[in-house]
Structure 1
Amino acid sequence: MLDEAEFDRDDAAPIDMLESYFAAHGWSHEREDEEIVARVKGSWTEYELRAIWREDDGVLQFLAFPDIRVPDERRIALYEAIGLVNEQLWIGHFELWSSSGILLFRHAAMVDGDEPTLSLGQAEMLVESAIDECERFYPVFQFVLWGGKTPAEALAAALIETQGEA
């Protein structure tokens, strides 16, 4: 958890705040106008995090790509798995881009006002919840794609609560 004292302000324009957040974590990132892309190492894989600010709509779209490409022959099973996983989510959702077979987590935040800003707490919630959900459900997708499990079996196996670390 980052401390607001590490930032010049406790709120900033959405992409500016995310750039500060990524920099404070030491994550490599690139920015172009109203879009920023960062790379983050998770427990399972490296994630690409992408935020796009749509000023006209007052929407910050946040995407997390868990480096999973779905072969055509596994798409039906993965769509079923995505449906079961999305039932478990309160904010955001997983989807599969049909043209490329790329799996991603997507969330959008409404950021209104004359000078829309994002607080450090909002940035942290947006980023960390996306990473947490990708980490939580990565095994489900792997079990379906490569483990020979049905979507229901994969979800049940992935949601077993473990204690401690090996």
Structure 2
Amino acid sequence: MNIELIKGDITKIEADAIVNAANSSLLGGGGVDGAIHRAGGKKILDECIEIRNRQGKCKTGEAVVTTGGNLPAKYVIHTVGPVWNGNEEKGSKLLANCYINSLKLAESLDVKIIAFPNISTGIYRFPKELAAKIAIDEVKDFTSEIIEKVIFVCFDDENEKIYRKLLEE
């Protein structure tokens, strides 16, 4: 898999699937979650409500999929990252599961290009360096015959610098 790094707005990325750093309610929120729901339109929210009616809330580390609505991406994979509470071992495992489960779901949908935001590093306060290391390690360790490219989309300069440094190592 090729790995690409972009600083920008994930809602504008041309990919088969983009990943949403969702909250467990799946009903939209702040940060990237709110941006994806606003840009993608009502169809995404309607499908999230259907998922909730079927299975209840989405657990931390799990992933579900909706269409991309008005987005350039065909799918939105919603994953719930952990809220940082200082428990590095537990938080790291849950964050790793976000990437693993999103990639597995993408494969099942025959996704060739998938874009990830910086999961849990905003209002969930996960340490950015640790989150970036987990993201990159999980993507590099994931072998796929289907997924051809993973794009890490950083919204801010700080995350972009962290990812660039780690990817160059």
**Length-normalised TM-score, structure 2:** 0.27
Indicate the structure whose relative CO is greater, using CA pairs within 8 Å and at least 6 residues apart: 2
Greater Rg over alpha carbons, structure? 1
Structure number with the higher strand fraction is 1
**Length-normalised TM-score, structure 1:** 0.27
